[in-house]
Chains A and B, each alone.
Chain A
């Protein structure tokens, strides 16, 4: 044994628990790591596929044509809903943003088990990175939508911009909250991953995307509180307000019949509700994550 301990190394700081973890706050403090994970996720989401990133656009586009044909052509909504294609696509952008975040976020921890089992890091990183990757794909879709709307004579307005920001904010918060909850739960029972597929179906049909809001109002005889308490439905309506309304012949009349009167209040309320859900998601995640490394086989 050599007695050569000479240098005095002074470790900084106090004695702290090594797993000290402020959850999501920590995620945003370590932005460089988050950036690397997002970049990794963008290249890895369609790992091993020939078309790669294009799947992020093929998927929504195929859905778009399916709905456009079945609802518009066969069920004849082309005639009843003006610019039905814009109506679908405006909704589809946020719906697809949500379903991608939800599905990829739920799988995120299991997929990254090589890191989760061996490295100490805030595990909230993975669901958050999934959400940001999905958000990254929203950009080009919005560009396509804007170009299409300009052809219909649509002009941007401040209210519309606010509506888009509210819609995206709702989905970002809600998507992250559910991704946190389901990502942790999926480690314990993979059933949660399977349940996501079913929930996604409810989401697609539970929002005024492939049918107009006026029909909902009519069928429920004005009792739409339950329907509008779905934050994703509010986000879709905000998107219709921002884009579809502006492309129609009589925007004021369309807004009166096809949007709830208190749309912006509903949107603000949804943001608050989703934020509360995110806090709950964080709390559950913190409780579950103690057992995550040992349950990942």
Chain B
């Protein structure tokens, strides 16, 4: 097996700013207050993900999940340690896509696909498929700033999932979609999983993580709290209790949806 994502002693610090303007800063300095304050979003995080693994990245709000995804995606760089990846990366960070609000859905599909590394011909070939999947109808030629949050997320997910990526990042993608769309997303992600691409799935829904992933990494205040078996990870996070009587069934999609609903 070959490594797909390697994180070594990764840390990322954010600055919490108390004072922004010259006046505020002078006053703070005179009074002897801190001018700024640091906050470690990730602290010495290390893990290796093999090609083809599907990982559930879990943790409470503010535990560093989205920051980790941003480092893997390449939007941010770590302050310390290294993040290495192999192959093309696609996916969604924090529900929304990187869309330009003033551009139409159609223009955004082309732009977004280009940013993800698709050529013009490749985009044209997949365009219908992308639009069909997103199912946004005639809104395609309206500026995405006017879209509902559901349509926005659907189009973004649709572009990302149609890129021939080697690593797929899914950050709470199912939080805003409706039931039929959630079902389609789960099917697509299942496809990614079985095709041997690496899947990194962030979710608070224990049921869907159980269904999709074969390993769980739990982040706790920016550190790796748990790395290993799915059920143990969910138990570690104490996310198992509310789902025990509602264990998702492979064939019963209604149950699955109820369970997915938990991540809103």
Query: What residues of chain A have their CB less than 8 Å away from a CB belonging to chain B?
Result: 1-2, 4-20, 30, 32-33, 36-37, 40, 44, 47, 112, 114-115, 117-121, 290, 293-294
Contact = CB atoms under 8 A, between A and B. Distances in A.
Contacts of A14: 86
B96 interface: yes
Contact of A4 (B107, B194, B210): B194
Interface in B178-223: 193-198, 210-211, 213-214
A134 B54 CA distance: 46
10 contacts: A10-B2, A10-B51, A15-B85, A16-B84, A16-B86, A18-B89, A40-B100, A119-B75, A119-B98, A121-B115
Nearest to B103: A40
B51 A11 contact: yes
Contacts of A18: 71-74, 83-85, 89
Nearest to A190: B20
A120 B88 CA distance: 11
A17 B76 contact: no
Nearest to B120: A32
Closest 5 CB pairs of A and B: A9-B196, A118-B98, A11-B87, A18-B74, A120-B74
Given A1-B230, A40-B111, A118-B93, A9 B197 contact: yes
Contact of A12 (B87, B98, B195): B87
B97 interface: yes
Interface residues of B, number: 57
B86 A11 contact: yes
A15 to B, nearest CB: 4
A47 B102 contact: yes
Contacts, number: 126
A19 B86 contact: no
Interface of B: 2-4, 6, 14-15, 51-52, 70-77, 79, 82-87, 89, 93-94, 96-103, 107, 110-112, 114-116, 119-120, 166-167, 193-198, 210-211, 213-214, 230, 250
Contacts of A115: 98-100, 111, 115
B196 A7 contact: yes
Contacts of B51: 9-11
A18 B75 CA distance: 8
B52 A8 contact: yes
B198 to A, nearest CB: 8
Given A16-B85, A18-B85, A11 B101 contact: no
A5 B52 contact: yes
Contacts of A9: 51-52, 166, 195-197
B110 to A, nearest CB: 6
Which of A4, A20, A117, A120 has the most chain B CB atoms closer than 10 A to its own CB?
A120
Contacts of B93: 118
A164 to B, nearest CB: 32
Contact of B211 (A1, A33, A119, A293): A1
B94 to A, nearest CB: 8
A15 B115 contact: no
B196 A5 contact: yes
B84 A15 contact: yes
A112 B98 CA distance: 10
